[in-house]
Structures are given as C-alpha cells and as structure tokens.
Amino acid sequence: MNVAIIGCSGMGRVHADALTKAGLRVALCVDTVRANAEALAKAYGAKVAASAAKAMTAKDIDAVLIATPTPFHLEYILKAAKAGKHIFCEKPFCRTEAECKEAIAAAKKAGVKLFVGHVVRYFHEFEAMKAQVESGKIGKPGFVKISRGGIFPGGPKSWFANYKMSGGVTLDCMIHDLDWVRYVFGEPVRIYGKALMRSGKEPMDYSQVTMRLKSGLIATIIGTWAHPAGFRVQAEICGDGGMVQYDSADAPMSSMKRETGSGPSMIVPASPVSESPYQREWEDFAAWVRDDRAPRVTPEDGMIAVRMAEAALESSATGKPVRL
C-alpha cells in the first residue's frame, strides 16, 4: 500500500517509520516547508509532491496520512475523500465536532476508510491495564486518575500557543485519555473542567477534568504543558477489590523521543518494545483497508473524543459542568 504523507515534521516522521515497519510504503511527501518533505522523502526513498492536491490525486497512491496542524485536517480529509483515497488522520480528528461530522459524511459518501490515530489504545501498558480491569482483578472500578504531559511544545514556529488553533493541552494531548477512559469504562454523562491556557513569551497550559460516566465511575484527567522539561504519563485505577497503577517514569528513557524540525519541538511518548504502538495502529488501519476488518478506533470514536474535549473547554470557560 502506497502512502502520501501530508505534513512531514513531528508526527509525520513518527508515522513514516511506523507505517514502513507495518509493511506499507512512503511514496510521496508534502509539506509547506519543502525541506521537511525533501528530508523525509530522501530517508524513505519517496518522491516529493509539489502540493497536497497533486499527492492526493496521484494514481499510485492508495492512502493519505494527514499529520498537519489540527485546523487543516478537515480540508485535507475532504480533498482525500474526493480523490478516493483512504485516510489516516492524526488526532485530534478535527478542531470541532461539527468538522468531524462533515469529515465522516465525506468519507462515507466517497466509500473510503477514515481512521483517527488514537494511539493510546494501542500502547501495551494501557492494554495491560484494560485487561486487568476486564478480568475483574480490581473488582468494580469506581475511580480513575490519569495525568499526561510535560514541556510546552514550543519552538520559533510553534502553532500550539495559538489556542484557537490547537485547543491547548485539553484538545491536543488530554484527548488521548478522554478517549481511553470512554473506550474502557463507557460513555460519559457530565464533564467539569479548568484550563490555564496562558499565552505570552513563555506560554504554558494546565488542564484538569472531572468526569462522571453512566456507570457511576468518576475520572480525573490532567493534561499539562507547564513542566520545565520531559514528558510523563501516570495512571491509577481503583476498584472495590484492588488498584492498578502505571508510571512512565518506570520505563526506559528510550521510550521518550524528542521530535524537532522547522516546526514546534515536542516529546513523543514511544514504547521500549520491538513493535511500537504506532506500528500497531498502522497494522490495524491496513487490515481494515485490505480485509475490511473492523478497526479498534472508528471515526465516530474520534468525533466523540473531540466532543468531550470541547465540553471540557466549554466548562472551563463558563465555570459550569457540561452534560453530554
């Protein structure tokens, strides 16, 4: 399967490595900074396309990876769907729930597969916690706490500090855990959030969400771009029969990768195992395209995650909980 990559910095590079290991091929590279596209193309023996439109309409391209800033996801999804290409879109799915709905409708009309990269569902550590819960090892779950983040994804051309574009740590980073809690424990009914979202010379963001699920479970989720260095993930799941914990600080240092380039620098959580979670999500996507096997993440899952993040931001702005 030949893949065109739209957005060749940061996550574009992470996905290029992962999709290659999953047996797919980087065939075309496009970036607004041509040097990024040329560097990635050279690394994988691919060609550089003059524009996203040309990459999407190329006859030998089977799928398109969209790894651009979030506000451009919908535009490229619509173009890829119109061109009849299958789509792998990095999370967040789109900037708003309304945009997600439009993207889903376009993919369905075109008859193409549309996948959203909620990679935490594929992390071995989170899979292990899910298995512990489902096996009944901790009894009936009642409380979950997850925190994720570290440094602000900065740099001279960082777009993350424009919160209208990025949605801050709530939409861009915490959305992983909003999605995972729903994936494991069921539908949310109420969300209350607070977010810092500080701009200026030294931007920082810190967000905390308290969420009640239909099951009665309470979840506290923290996202931070306010630490001076590093990246860390912690999770704690409490049931009436026990507790399971995870702390990425216990993992090898190799499980964190710094991504730099002409765009924002960022630290990307990786995995010390031979088959990375990013590779596993590409294998899932490929199986969906090739064999029509239902993937672990649906476009609707991606849309609901955006809806949850939007509710958290709305609550933070109004000071009131939002019912879903």
Question: Which CATH code of 3.30.1510.10, 3.60.21.10, 3.90.550.10, 3.40.50.720 fits the domain covering 2-119+282-286?
Answer: 3.40.50.720
For the ranges 67-81, 96-110, 156-170, the lowest mean pLDDT is seen at 156-170
Q: Using alpha carbons only, give the angle 310, 316, 320 rounded to the nearest 5 degrees.
A: 100
252-291 pLDDT, tens digit each: 544 455 555 555 655 566 556 678 999 999 999 999 999 9
Quick check: 200 pLDDT over 90?
no
Give the pLDDT confidence of 111-129 residue by residue, as tens digits: 999 999 999 999 999 999 9
CA–CA distance from 116 to each of 55, 96, 301 (Å)? 20, 14, 8
pLDDT, greater one: 57 or 286: 286
Average pLDDT, the chain: 93
* Residue 322 to residues 137, 190, 215, 233, 314, Cα–Cα distance (Å): 32, 6, 17, 26, 7
| Mean pLDDT of the 78-101 span | 98
Whether residue 91 has pLDDT greater than 60: yes
Q: State the pTM of this model.
A: 0.92
Looking at the chain, the domain(s) classified CATH 3.40.50.720 span 2-119+282-286
Q: What percent of the chain is predicted at pLDDT more than 90? A: 86
Which fold, 121-272+303-323? Dihydrodipicolinate Reductase; domain 2 (3.30.360)
Name the residue among 175, 144, 176 with its Cα closest to residue 246. 144
208 pLDDT above the threshold of 80:
yes
- Confidence (pLDDT) at 255: 47
Residue 210, C-beta contacts closer than 8 angstroms, at least 6 positions apart: 191, 192, 193, 218, 219, 220
Vertex 91 angle, CA 90 and 92, to 5°: 140
Q: What is the pLDDT of residue 199?
A: 86
CATH 3.30.360.10 intervals, the chain = 121-272+303-323
Kindly provide the residue ranges of all beta strands, DSSP E only, lying in the chain, ordered along the sequence. Answer: 2-6, 25-30, 47-48, 63-66, 86-90, 114-117, 141-150, 188-195, 205-213, 218-225, 231-239, 242-247, 256-259, 266-269, 322-323
Predicted local confidence at residue 253, as pLDDT: 46
